[in-house]
């Protein structure tokens, strides 16, 4: 199971479709609050694909909350962002794979398969 967290419905649906074509099960959240609710509700993803700029709880705030909870801290994260993050914000994310949007299909699939082999 892969959790896709992105407020842009078109991006979220495209990533979801691509992952499902590759054979993954997918859960989606429109922001960090909804994603955290899913995790706290028992969702156990093998990987999180995370956008950075979202309402209510952005990618940095979500990642901080994730890292502070031992149950979720070790779930690998691929950050897909359309903006270039500054070094301080990137450092706050911890150990993540960072892909700059627009991401090629091949590049995205490679990153996902490295973190979450089928």
Which pLDDT score, from 0 to 100, does residue 7 have? 95
Q: Give me the helix-helix angle, 32-40 and 59-68, nearest 10°.
A: 20
81, β-bridge pairs = 100
pLDDT digits (tens, 9 = 90+) for 8-57: 999 999 999 999 999 999 999 999 999 999 999 999 999 999 998 889 99
pLDDT digits (tens, 9 = 90+) for 64-108: 999 999 999 999 999 987 766 666 677 777 888 988 878 899 999
Residue 12's pLDDT is 94
- Which two three-digit tokens encode residue 86? 């500054």
Every domain of the chain and the residues it spans: 2-115
Return d(Cα 9, Cα 7) in angstroms, integer.
6
Residue 65 CA to residue 67 CA, distance in Å, equals 6
Does the domain made of 2-115 have the CATH classification 3.90.850.10? no
């Amino acid at each position: 199971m892969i959790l896709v967290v992105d407020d842009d419905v078109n991006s979220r649906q495209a990533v979801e479709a691509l992952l499902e074509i590759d054979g993954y099960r997918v859960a989606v959240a429109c922001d960090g609050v909804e994603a955290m609710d899913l995790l706290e509700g028992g969702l156990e993803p093998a990987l999180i694909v995370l956008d950075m700029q979202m309402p209510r709880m952005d990618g940095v705030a979500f990642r901080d909350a994730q890292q502070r909870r031992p149950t979720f801290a070790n779930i690998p994260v691929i950050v897909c962002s359309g903006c270039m993050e500054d070094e301080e914000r990137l450092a706050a994310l911890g150990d993540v794979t960072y892909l700059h949007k627009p991401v090629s299909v091949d590049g995205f699939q490679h990153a996902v398969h490295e973190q979450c082999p089928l």
